[in-house]
Structure 1
Amino acid sequence: MAKNKQLRVTLVRSLSGRVARHRACVSGLGIRRMHHSVVVTDTPENRGMINKVSYMLSVEEV
């Protein structure tokens, strides 16, 4: 991993009816609502949350 690599994460599927831990991962990334994008650093902690809920997210490198 590069030192200051950034990822833009966007919620593309609804949180309705999801497992509580998956909702917690999305809020832990700082995402508040559908189609909301945040830029997070590429750390193992953030990667773990992204991988857990990858079916709801769109991820791109910045």
Structure 2
Amino acid sequence: MAKLKITLIHSAAHRLPNERRIVKSLGLNRINSTTTKKDTAALRGALFKITHLVKVELVK
């Protein structure tokens, strides 16, 4: 299964509470923090809501 490398590029401060919760649930704490997750439909749905805050790369 493919993996996604997710990097927080904009702060979650002063954003909607739902967006802040998604960022925190992904394990992203600070700007430029990175995490790697399995590519699932649920994860893609969460990322769709915060596309303006993160950079996503495909990792094989």
Q: TM-score, normalising length from structure 2?
A: 0.93
Task: Note if 1:59 corresponds to 2:56.
Answer: yes
Task: Note if 1:33 corresponds to 2:59.
Answer: no
What are the ranges of 5 or more consecutive residues in structure 1 without an aligned counterpart?
none
Aligned AA for 1:16? A
Task: Note if 1:23 corresponds to 2:25.
Answer: no
**Aligned position for 1:11:** 8
Aligned AA for 2:48? N
Aligned AA for 1:55? H
Aligned-residue offset at 1:30:
1.4
Give the CA RMSD over aligned residues: 0.7
Q: TM-score, normalising length from structure 1?
A: 0.90
Aligned-residue offset at 1:23:
0.5
What are the ranges of 5 or more consecutive residues in structure 2 without an aligned counterpart?
none
Aligned residues: 59
SS at match of 1:17: coil
